[in-house]
């Protein structure tokens, strides 16, 4: 029987094969509406984040823009009223890469936002896997925003330790000792912010094209479904649970009920947000019979403290 690592490896190989570079890309730069401003005053930095990496980059972007004199709102998209989106001169959105793509709850959210005609938009992703699909995940976000009238002015991907739980937390970057982000990652984030702003001032846009033409095929792989099939147990340990409801807040699909110790397997997106955020190690997930433990436990067992940008000591958002 395949182990979880075999499954991940095979998926990665298939993914790589599907992503062989070919020259078919979809370019849509010419179709953008005019920028509504080349002098943005009020910016929104929005994020979806399960384990805090995307939120950290989003806040650093917000602090960098604030230093440049802009008014900044920095918000978790799960708590943000999407009807306020048209009121901003610049929208920067960040998400993690999940299953080689944008988390499905984020895509669904973006499908229902109001028109943001002419608003400069930039996207970024936090990722932890091998490089390859991150450009397309951020492109997918840009395409969704452009569909509502947003004008693409920036895109980037920031690498960090992955929060994808395996029984031993032994993927390459989990055991390498390089527990990103580091100062270079934060410099990249600041540079992305500065470049995005300068592009708006110059009235420039960026192309929205998938780097690897066969990605659509990859996205059609039922990765979430396959993973859900392999999850042999998903419940809550009533003895350990402290009823903090963090898992409920983090669950993007309202699938978990810690008070009843139930998980609606139909609704579950296999994002591991419940496991990766439970402070009491009370979320029980078995993958083909092997018990997983979450990101807080992984950090604790390996005595890892994730680095914070120095700006955070003076900039509050
Ligand atoms: C369910 C799940 C799926 C993931 N899939 C990918 C992936 O396909 N590619 C990748 O580079 N990283 C992947 N990752 C790693 C995340 O992108 C990475 O841990 C990210 O920094 C998490 O951001 P957050 O802390 O803001 O939630 C995955 C993580 C999880 C939990
Ligand atoms: S996050 Fe953990 S401790 Fe808190 S309610 Fe959920 S299962 Fe219980
Ligand atoms: S119950 Fe499923 S969808 Fe909800 S946080 Fe847990 S893994 Fe994600």
Task: Say if residue 187's pLDDT is above 60.
Answer: yes
Q: Which backbone phi and psi does 295 adopt, to 5 degrees? A: -55, -45
pLDDT at 8: 46
pTM for the model stands at: 0.90
Closest CA to 51 of 275, 311, 300: 275
Cα(116)–Cα(212) distance, integer angstroms: 28
Q: Give the residue, out of 239, 256, 261, 283, with the most ligand 2 atoms within 8 A of its beta carbon, to mutate for a pocket test.
A: 283
- Predicted confidence at residue 19, as pLDDT, reads 41
**Cα dihedral sign, 191-192-195-200:** negative
The number of residues in the chain equals 317
Compute, in angstroms, the gap from residue 98 CA to the centroid of ligand 1. Answer: 5
Q: Would the CB of 95 count as within 6 Å of ligand 1? A: no
Cβ partners under 8 Å of residue 69, min gap 6: none
User: H helices within the chain, ranges in order?
Assistant: 4-18, 53-67, 104-111, 134-147, 172-175, 183-202, 215-219, 223-230, 246-250, 273-277, 295-301
pLDDT tens, residue by residue, 193-236: 999 999 999 999 999 988 764 545 555 667 888 888 889 999 99
With 70 as the cut, is the pLDDT of residue 1 above it?
A: no
Cα 271 to ligand 2 centroid, rounded to whole Å? 16
Pocket around ligand 2: residues whose beta carbon is below 6 Å from it?
Answer: 236, 241-247, 258, 278, 280, 282-283
Instruction: Select from 124, 125, 127 the residue to mutate for testing ligand 1; criterion: most ligand atoms less than 8 Å from CB.
Output: 127
Closest Cα to atom 3, ligand 1: which residue? 98
More confident residue, 1 or 315: 315
Question: Closest residue (by CA) to atom 2 of ligand 3?
Answer: 268
Between helix 53-67 and helix 183-202 the angle, nearest 10°, is 50
The reported pLDDT for the residue numbered 24 is 39
pLDDT tens per residue, range 131-172: 777 888 999 999 999 999 999 999 999 999 999 998 888 888
**Residue 7 pLDDT:** 42
Residue-level pLDDT at 75: 98
Distance in Å, CA 78 to ligand 3 centroid: 15
- Residue 61: the pLDDT is 98
User: In this predicted structure, what is the pLDDT of residue 219?
Assistant: 59
pLDDT for residue 178 is more than 60 = yes
Share of the chain above pLDDT 90, in %: 73
With contact defined as beta carbons under 8 Å apart, do 250 and 283 qualify?
no
**CA-based nearest residue to 72, from 311, 313, 315:** 315
What's the token pair of residue 137? 């995940």
Atom of ligand 1 nearest to the CA of 129: 11
Mean pLDDT (the chain, rounded): 88
User: Residues with Cβ < 8 Å from 215, sequence gap 6 or more?
Assistant: 18, 19, 133, 136
Q: In this predicted model, which residue has the larger pLDDT, 87 or 31?
A: 87
Q: CB–CB of 284/292 below 8 Å?
A: no
First to last CA, the chain: 49
What is the rounded CA–CA span in Å between residue 313 and residue 292? Answer: 35
Q: Which carries the bigger pLDDT value, residue 212 or residue 299? A: 299
Tokens matching residue 136: 């397309």
Ligand 3 centre to CA of 254 (Å) is 8
Instruction: Say what the pLDDT of residue 17 is.
Output: 42
Structural tokens at position 161: 């330790």
């Amino acid at each position: 029987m395949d182990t979880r690592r075999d499954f991940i490896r095979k998926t990665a190989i298939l993914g790589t094969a599907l992503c062989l570079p070919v020259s078919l890309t979809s370019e849509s730069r010419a179709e953008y509406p005019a920028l509504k401003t080349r002098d943005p005053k009020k910016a929104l930095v929005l994020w979806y984040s399960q384990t805090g990496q995307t939120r950290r980059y989003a806040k650093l972007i917000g602090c960098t823009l604030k230093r440049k004199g802009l008014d900044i709102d920095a918000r978790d998209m799960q708590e943000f009223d999407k009807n306020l989106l048209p009121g901003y001169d610049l929208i920067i959105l960040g998400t993690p890469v999940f299953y080689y793509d944008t988390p499905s709850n984020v895509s669904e959210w973006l499908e229902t936002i109001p028109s943001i005609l002419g608003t400069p938009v930039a996207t970024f992703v936090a990722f932890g896997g091998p490089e390859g699909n991150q450009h397309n995940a951020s492109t997918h976000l840009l395409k969704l925003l452009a569909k509502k009238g947003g004008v693409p002015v920036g895109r980037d991907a920031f690498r960090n330790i992955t929060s994808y739980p395996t029984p031993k937390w032994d993927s390459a970057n989990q055991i390498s000792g390089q527990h990103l982000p580091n100062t270079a990652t934060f410099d990249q984030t600041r540079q992305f912010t500065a470049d995005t702003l300068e592009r708006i001032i110059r009235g420039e846009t960026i192309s929205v094209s998938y780097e690897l033409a066969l990605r659509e095929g990859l996205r059609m792989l039922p990765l979430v479904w396959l993973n859900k099939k392999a999850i042999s147990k998903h419940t809550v340990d009533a003895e350990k649970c402290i009823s903090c409801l963090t898992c409920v807040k983090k669950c993007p699909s309202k699938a978990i009920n810690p008070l009843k110790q139930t998980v609606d397997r139909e609704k579950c997106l296999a994002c591991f947000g419940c496991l990766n955020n439970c402070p009491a190690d009370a979320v029980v997930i078995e993958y083909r019979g092997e018990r997983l433990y979450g990101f807080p436990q992984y950090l604790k067992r390996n005595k890892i403290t994730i680095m914070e940008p120095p700006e955070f000591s003076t900039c509050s958002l």
